Structure 1
Amino acid sequence: MATATPTLRPLACWKSILRHSRQQKAITRSLTTLRAPERTAAPASRNSLPPVWQKLKVYPPPPSAAAASREPIKDFTNDQLRILDPTRARTNLFSKGNPEGAKVGDILLVRLKDGEPFAGVCINIRRRGVDTGILLRNQLTRVGVEMWYKIYSPNVEGIEVVQRKEKRARRARLTYMRKPKHDRGSVENIVYQYQRMKAGLRSKEDSNLGGKKKGKGRK
């Protein structure tokens, strides 16, 4: 019957085991040689005062962001709207609760600081807070053109309602106007008449103000 041969370990394995045991011994020695805290002696008599223990300074927890703002995204959006639209003119113009606000089907004129103004039929209003935008459609050289504009963009100088739709649209998006059957075509003539009427009103106001100033001067 074959005898069982003892298992042999390499020399490096024994070195690592001995090194680990030596480290453990050094740790235990250092822990045992630590200086124990000095205890105050017991009071000699009943009238002597007990030892005074110093209290640790406990700092209060930092303020919670949830307690300061229940809806941080909503508060951030309102802060941005106050900066971008301090008069709230554009917010009221595209508000759902405003009966005199702009709606789909109206002809809008967008004036830009850098670039030419663009007018067209509003076929979509996407209300997304600061990212609110409108989609205008017009025909240039008999080609349908659509442009998205962010109403709170710093590049947008002003938005005017040129003509309102007679009847309220039954849809939120007038995408059917892309078809030739329902396409309104170019709105340049309507915008030209609007600008001409606006210029006439301004000239009348200037003339009235000038006549009043002359009358005051004669007196």
Structure 2
Amino acid sequence: MFRALRQFSTSRASLGPKMQVYEPLPRLRNGQCLMEYVKQAQYEKFDKTGAKRKALSLANKERIRADDIVTVVYKNQKPVTGQVLMVKRSGLNSTVLLRNKITGLGVEMNIPVYHPNIIRLDIVRRPVAYKPRNRHYYIRNSRLDVGEIGASGN
């Protein structure tokens, strides 16, 4: 049965010239894989100066860490100031969790660092000595909780 099918199959030469229906895919970008190239393009789009990447980089000594007091400057609204409870470093999905007390009520804001409306992150104050944890959830509603932090960083 297979021999019979083979007899009637057409060869490639008999089909004629190959028609190109779509544009060919571009070659690898200098040997860089596609996902790395897309990631770099997204970083260029949302962080033109590289300041946000530098602020989150673990290799940088002046990076944003838990227990810092940070001001987030937006394009079209007032700046937000708070104590950093947690920094989540996950590429373009990196976030910073800020806590502040407003009229005695604890308020937490999860700020996406690479959001297009965020201009920059300014470190207002660093602690004398950092606490030995990366995530400071334990300070909520305890004697260690933050006071009211104004724009001046009091």
Fold similarity call, TM over 0.5: yes
The TM-score with structure 1 as length reference comes to 0.55
Alignment of 1:128-167 (within 5 A): 128-167=90-129
**For 2:78 and 2:123, how far apart are their aligned partners in 1?**
17
1:179 aligns with 2:141: yes
Q: CA RMSD in A?
A: 2.8
**For 1:128 and 1:154, how far apart are their aligned partners in 2?**
17
1:86 aligns with 2:48: yes
Alignment of 1:116-127 (within 5 A): 116-127=78-89
**For 1:193 and 1:170, how far apart are their aligned partners in 2?**
23
Q: 1:114 aligns with which of 71, 76, 80?
A: 76
Relative CO higher for 1 or 2, CA cutoff 8 Å, sep ≥ 6? 2
**For 1:117 and 1:58, how far apart are their aligned partners in 2?**
61
Per-residue Cα deviation, 1:95-139 (whole angstroms, up to 9, x for no partner): 111011111110000111222211010011111211111110000
Unaligned runs of 5+ in 1: 1-52, 195-219
Q: 1:115 to 1:54 in 2, by over 3 A?
A: closer
Greater Cα radius of gyration, structure 1 or 2: 1
8 Å contact 2:100–2:106 — kept in the other structure? yes
**For 2:137 and 2:41, how far apart are their aligned partners in 1?**
33
2:17 aligns with 57
2:3 aligns with none
Letter in 2 for 1:92: K
Identical-pair percentage: 26
Aligned length: 138
Task: Give secondary structure in 1 for the equivalent of 2:53.
Answer: helix
**For 2:37 and 2:111, how far apart are their aligned partners in 1?**
24
In terms of fraction of residues, the more strand-rich structure is: 2
Letter in 1 for 2:148: S
Letter in 1 for 2:59: G
**For 1:100 and 1:55, how far apart are their aligned partners in 2?**
65
2:8 aligns with none
The TM-score with structure 2 as length reference comes to 0.76
Unaligned runs of 5+ in 2: 1-12
